[in-house]
Amino acid sequence: QLNWSNLGPETPYLASLLEDPRFCDAAEQILGDDAVGHFCNSNSFSGDRTEWHPDTTDPHWRGIKFGFYLQPLAANTGALRFITGSHKEPLHSDTKRIALKDSIADTGDEAGLSVEEVPAYVAASQPGDVIIFDNHTWHASWGGGEDRRMCTLGYFGSPTTPEEEAAVKAHVEMEAGLMRTFPQLERSPHWVASSIGNPKRQRWIDSLRRWGFIGPAGS
């Protein structure tokens, strides 16, 4: 799997999608008017499956992801699969405990199901379709070929409780570690500096800077 950020000057259209009302209006409806545009990345997937996983297990993180593929995908060619309702407890934790081979193996139980055996909703898609899901939802893919191209956009809700503030701080630490390994995911200084005349992006940058996702101005 390859990942890279679309927030550089080389991809101005993709970078603009975070502020596109078709995305950010929906994000604000779900997360609140102070939702923060967090990333816009591209991904290239290869191999016959992506194992089941959520994007977070922190119950106090409030985030959503939009995704769209550049190729038509079906159940046996790598379309995203979702375990419906798994963004909520107790199903979120039960999914890890019961359905997944890797998790079950940790307990010594040889039960468990492979990706294609888990009852799930398959989000078959054509180029132009957009999928949106909660960051806690367990998802996977099966049967895919080489170089499945996907673009993703992420938003998170501004924290309103001490628990949510702690979740955001933990996400900052997680992201910092990820970017040390994959520096191509770092937000471009061009994107950070080009917010003049764009109050929405400026609000996001102020929030990202306040929580530590990006460094202080002038750093």
State which amino acid sits at residue 199: P
66-75, 108-117, 159-168: which has the minimum mean pLDDT? 108-117
pLDDT tens-place string over residues 21-58: 999 999 999 999 999 999 999 999 888 888 889 999 99
19-28, 36-45, 99-108, 165-174: which has the minimum mean pLDDT? 99-108
CA–CA separation, 88 and 75 (whole Å):
24
80-94, 111-125, 158-172, 200-214: which has the minimum mean pLDDT? 111-125
Q: Are 67 and 105 in contact (CB under 8 A)?
A: no
* Strand-pair partners of 111: none
Q: What are phi and psi of 143, to 5 degrees?
A: 85, 10
Q: Are 71 and 127 in contact (CB under 8 A)?
A: yes
pLDDT the model gives residue 204: 95
CA–CA separation, 7 and 190 (whole Å):
8
pLDDT tens-place string over residues 185-217: 999 999 998 766 789 999 999 999 999 999 886
Going by pLDDT thresholds of 50, 70 and 90, the confidence category of residue 109 is very low
Pair type for strands 131-134 and 36-45: unpaired
